[in-house]
Structures are given as structure tokens and as C-alpha cells.
């Protein structure tokens, strides 16, 4: 079964609980099994910096969903948890980004893999290195 790597973040409400809840919901999905998760790290906001610090983590999942279907499952979980998209890089109850899916490389209007900005963001790479250093290295190498 394919493996995918997700980056999760939250900075309003109870971020640690929201990350835990997102992991529970991912693992409860009929086509997704969480196989690893990093510790939660605290980071300063990126992009739009006048907001609370973030709690960030990474998770590895096994799934039989295609990449775009996994993305939609993540977006459904965000929506079901109450996420409303007001502004780019703004505060959020939960954010679940698909960072990589096996070694698939794709560039469509809906999904780019590996994630186009992952190599620039320590809040993505540091937790990812904890659970899959080879995936973090692969993402960085794709950008060279």
C-alpha cells in the first residue's frame, strides 16, 4: 500500500488537542492508516507573522487512496473540524497538508507533489525528519 507524509499545524483554539483529533480522524478513515507521527513542535508563524505561534507535527500514513483523493480526505477532515479559510497563511484551527506520496512527482492545478514549499519550511522538514529522514532528503533533492 502506498505511503504518504502529511504536515499538520494549528494555532488557534487548543492546537495540541486539534492535532490529536486530526490524527484520530485520519486513522479512523476507512482508507487511511496512520503508521507514524512526530512529536509536536512550537514554531513562529510563517508568511503572516502577526498571529499566535503554531503547533506543528508530521504523520506517515498508508492509504489505498490516490493522491488527489487523499488530499480531499484531508480537506474534508479540516472542514469537519471547523476550519474556515479566511486568508492565506492566516490563523487556523487545523491544517493538514499532503507533503509527499511515495516518490510520486506531479504538478496539477489541484496538487503538486512533493509539496512545492516543503523544502523551505523547517516547521515541515524538522517533524518529517523525525519520522522519515529519507523522505525529507528526497524532498530537498527535488528542489536542487
Active site residues: 83, 92, 95, 97
What distances in angstroms separate CA 133 from CA 6, 7, 45, 76, 138, one per listed residue?
Answer: 14, 14, 24, 28, 9
- Residue identified by cell 492508516 is 33
Q: Which of 115, 116, 128, 7 is nearest to 56 (CA)?
A: 7
Which H helix or E strand runs over 127? helix 122-131
Amino acid at each position: 500500500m502506498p505511503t504518504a507524509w502529511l504536515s499538520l499545524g494549528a494555532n488557534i483554539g487548543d492546537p495540541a488537542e486539534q492535532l490529536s483529533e486530526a490524527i484520530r480522524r485520519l486513522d479512523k478513515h476507512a482508507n487511511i492508516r496512520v503508521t507514524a507521527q512526530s512529536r509536536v513542535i512550537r514554531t513562529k508563524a510563517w508568511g503572516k507573522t502577526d498571529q499566535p505561534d503554531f503547533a506543528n507535527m508530521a504523520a506517515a500514513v498508508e492509504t489505498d487512496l490516490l493522491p488527489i483523493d487523499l488530499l480531499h480526505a484531508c480537506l474534508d477532515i479540516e472542514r469537519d473540524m471547523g476550519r474556515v479559510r479566511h486568508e492565506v497563511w492566516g490563523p487556523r484551527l487545523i491544517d493538514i497538508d499532503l507533503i509527499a506520496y511515495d516518490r510520486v512527482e506531479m504538478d496539477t492545478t489541484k496538487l503538486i507533489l512533493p509539496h512545492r514549499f516543503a523544502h523551505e519550511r523547517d516547521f515541515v522538514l524538522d517533524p518529517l525528519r523525525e519520522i522519515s529522514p529519507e523522505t525529507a532528503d528526497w524532498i530537498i533533492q527535488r528542489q536542487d
